[in-house]
Amino acid sequence: MGMIKIVNRSILFLCCLGISYIHAQTTSNFETKPVAFRSGNKVFLRWSVSTAAQWRQANILGYNVERAEEGSTNFQLLNTTPLKPITLLAAQKYGRESAVYIVTSLIQQKPDPKDKNRSDDSELYGYYLLMSSYNADAASLSASAYTDSTTVPGKKYTYRITVATIAPEKQQASTVTVQDDNTLPALPSIVSKFMEKTVNLEWNIKPVIDDYIAVVVERSTDSINFSTITNPPLLSNLQNANEKEKDTTKKMMIFNDADVAQNTKYYYRIKGINVFGINSEPGTVISGICLPDIRTLPKIKSIDTVAGKFVVNWTMPDSVKRLVKQYEIRVSQTGDDSTYKKIFTFPATKDSITAFDFKPSQSNYFTLRAINQKADQYVESFPYLYQLNDSIPPALPVGLNGVIDKSGNVTLAWSGNKEPDILAYKVYRSFSNTGSYSLITGEPTIETIFKEKLPLNQLNADIFYKVSALDNRYNESALSEPIRLSRPDTIPPAIATLLEVNMVNNKSMEVKWKKSFSKDVVSYALFRKDIDDSLSTWIQIATPDAMDSVYSDLNVDPTISYAYKIQAVDKGDLKSGFSNERFYKAPAKAAVKVKILSNLNAYTSRGEKKYIELNWNINRQIAENIREFWVYRVVNGNEAEIALQSVIPGTSKIFDDDDVRENTRYTYYIKAVYKTGGSSDLEKINVDY
């Protein structure tokens, strides 16, 4: 039978009961902690005490089991005499290998003062708890279990375990209450592997480990009569390979059955045992047969083509043919183990010559696999190489594209050829589309990506690339269609020259320039500034095309003076310096001032909400030219501290100032700012608040 390695033997049963146990703990008061399991009219009880010393004394004094009904505190004694462990002599009738005899022997043992590790009862108590945890008779006959068969189903009971003759004030007895029946969960499925001389079984115990302290494995040869093959049972807390893996949802319990015969069908199932010694229903049954392994390889003698079919001539010793279930013919173009694919399957009854249909590649590595009757073991022949004569080159590569970054790094990519015998690719380069191409790959590249770095200080801006394909026989394809790449531009274009600016019919400004002589210019950037406004800055007003040399600026005011300049932009988005500036001087303005606002009034609110409201009308003739209003404020006539209060849209006709205080004079100045960039005179209003 297989062997299982367990860990934490002295703590295992305590963990299952949910009882904390401290090595060599000392306490003056007895403490008993019970757990219960109810099934029908029976309630199964288990308990333990806090220390090994208490356990030793309680075995002498005995335990009392008390019960109260329906939540009352009126406990009644169930046992007529204190429960004590049976004698070693009485335990002999159960057999010296039985759990009853073993736990009774542990109770009879005494500490060894000369052994530091066994100078008290702690280790004995730990082994006792372990050995009695999965055997109901051992627990009951050693006074750590009791079965109450006098209950009424559905009725609520509370149990208390005490140590006989110990005063109540010197012991602390916990209680446990039961009412409904407890149920045991279904066991997990078994995963099996039937080997040549062993059967490997494993199952995930984690979903039910809290309910079962141990598992037994049962075996049958007829699927009806099962017998236990694990004695003692397998404890649920154990070391296994799965603990080293990352899957925290599993804790695999493993059992290896080595007491098997070949060519015999076996059936396996498992049962769980809880700490009350109750067995679960059996789990799902699995079955299989241990078959001998095949140790002799088949051999391919020859491969030929006959009447359009492939014919394989092979051998396999008669001594192992009976073990073969079927054969597979597998093929690879490269001979790498991971690239073989099954192309034909035939039963083991066939003779040693087999024909099949197959469309070959240029190179074909064949193997013959013999599969054992148990299907998870096979042997395979050494590869047999079959090649075709080939003088036909592959198709030219397609999909060639590429880029050059600003540092001169070239990256080419293309679609891989579909032919199965493609070996590699060659890359060619030319500095003229009409010139000859030179090979730039010293060794053919097996990738469909190629990289190189080009110098940027070359006069020729364009580079052309082509790619060819090679097959396994080094037949080379024609060159692909060329791709044209341009070196990155690091030199800005030459400066354009601004020739003149003229106002046309007081409606638009005509700007003319002499183009940059750089051939890679793609556009221009035209800038304008209001020179009548000292706060005005240059703004870009247009992006004329590279073919343009005239631009009409429609968004101008003939009463405002303007300055213009222009900049050339090439295809690499490099910009030239600015051109010379050209100016338009507006005619002197008439002395008559245009009043922007009319009916400028103020309203003051002194209620709960305090504010000053300004309202006005706008001159219709120029209303559409106003972009925004700037509102300034002076407090108590201190003009030196005039401050911009707000900027509001040009369509606004009202302004509220809620930052006001009483007994203060406020002076407001309002200025209109035009869409062309100019501004009106300030208009003033005083408000006493």
Length of the chain: 689
Residue 215 lies in a domain: yes
The answer to whether residues 440 and 427 touch, using CB atoms and an 8 Å cutoff, is: yes
- Per-residue confidence (pLDDT) for residue 22, from 0 to 100: 37
Average pLDDT over residues 650-657: 92
Closest CA to 188 of 248, 270, 277: 270
Q: Whole-angstrom distance between the N-terminal and C-terminal Cα of the chain?
A: 105
Q: d(Cα 218, Cα 273) in Å, to the nearest integer?
A: 13
Q: Please report, as a single letter, which amino acid is at residue 393.
A: P
575: DSSP letter: B
- Check pLDDT > 80 for residue 242: no
323: its two tokens? 């073990």
- CA–CA separation, 147 vs 42, rounded Å? 7
> How far apart (Å, rounded) are the C-alpha atoms in residues 390 and 85?
90
The burial of 43, by beta-carbon neighbours within 10 Å (0-12 exposed, 13-18 middle, 19 or more buried), is given as buried
Question: Among residues of the chain, what percentage have pLDDT more than 90?
Answer: 52
- pLDDT value at position 26? 44
pLDDT at residue number 435: 79
The DSSP symbol for 92 reads G
Residues 283 and 423 grouped into a single domain: no
Task: Identify the top-confidence range among 4-8, 281-285, 358-362, 373-377.
Answer: 281-285
Question: Given a cut of 50, is residue 355 above it in pLDDT?
Answer: yes
Q: What is the mean pLDDT of residues 604-630?
A: 89
Judge if 52 and 172 occupy the same domain: yes
Span 542-552, pLDDT tens digits: 999 999 999 99
State residue 360's pLDDT score: 84
Q: Are residues 558 and 480 both part of a single domain?
A: no
Q: Is 575 in the same domain as 669?
A: no
Q: Does the residue 3 lie in any domain?
A: no
Which range among 275-284, 336-345, 594-603 shows the weakest confidence by mean pLDDT? 594-603
Residue range 657-683: mean pLDDT, rounded: 89
**Residue 604: inside a domain:** yes
- φ/ψ (deg, to 5) at 134: -115, 5
pLDDT at 141: 95
| pLDDT score recorded for residue 13 | 42
Of 249-263, 381-395, 538-552, 598-612, the poorest mean pLDDT is in: 381-395
Regarding whether 414 and 305 lie in a shared domain, the answer is no
Q: Among the three residues 486, 515, 531, which one is the final residue of a domain in this structure?
A: 486
For the segment 101-127, what is each residue's pLDDT rounded down to a tens digit? 999 999 988 877 766 665 567 888 888
Task: Examine the domain organization and report whether 240 and 277 are in the same domain.
Answer: yes
CB 236, CB 209: distance < 8 Å: yes
Residues 6+ apart with CB under 8 A from 161: 32, 34, 45, 47, 63, 64, 65, 66, 173
**What pLDDT sits at residue 675?**
87
In this prediction, residue 533 carries a pLDDT of 83
Question: Over 60: is that where the pLDDT of 598 sits?
Answer: yes
Residues 445-483: pLDDT tens digits? 999 999 998 887 665 678 999 999 998 778 899 999 999
Average pLDDT, the chain: 87
Question: What is the amino acid identity at position 638?
Answer: N
- Is the C-alpha dihedral spanning 120, 123, 128, 129 positive or negative? positive
List the structure tokens of 139. Answer: 């627990």
The domain of 579 spans 497-584
Residues 204 and 239 in one domain: yes
- At residue 265, the pLDDT reads 92
Split at pLDDT 50, 70, 90, the class of 12 is: very low
Give domain status of residue 393, yes or no.
no
- Residue 294 falls inside a structural domain: no
Q: In which band, very low, low, confident or very high, does the pLDDT at 194 lie, cut at 50, 70 and 90?
A: confident
Helices (H) and strands (E) in the chain, counts: 7, 45
185 lies in some domain: no
Q: How many angstroms from the chain centroid is the CA of residue 578?
A: 54
Instruction: Provide the 8-state DSSP code for 166.
Output: S
- 543 and 620: one domain? no
348 and 451 co-located in one domain: no
| Structural domains counted in the chain | 6
pLDDT reading at 20 higher than 50: no
349 plus 461 within the same structural domain: no
Considering the domain architecture, whether residues 403 and 257 belong to the same structural domain is answered as no
Give mean pLDDT, residues 18-33.
Answer: 57
Instruction: Please give the residue that has the higher pLDDT: either 248 or 291.
Output: 291
DSSP code per residue over 423-481: EEEEEEEESSTTS--EE--SS-BSSSEEEEE--S--S--EEEEEEEEEETT--BPPPPP
- Categorise residue 223: left if φ over 0, alpha if ψ from -120 to 50, beta otherwise: left
| Co-location of 626 and 510 in the same domain | no
244: CATH: 2.60.40.10
Is 310 a domain residue? yes
Q: Is residue 5 part of a domain?
A: no
489-519, pLDDT tens digit by residue?
Answer: 777 889 999 999 999 998 899 999 999 998 8
- Give yes or no for residue 17 having a pLDDT over 90: no
Tokens 């200080």 locate to 457
Q: What is the CA radius of gyration of the chain?
A: 50
Distance, CA of 250 to CA of 386 (rounded, Å): 48
Say what the pLDDT of residue 458 is: 64
Domain end residue (candidates: 387, 411, 439): 387
Identify the band that residue 589 occupies on the pLDDT scale cut at 50, 70 and 90: low
Last residue of a domain, one of 353, 387, 421: 387
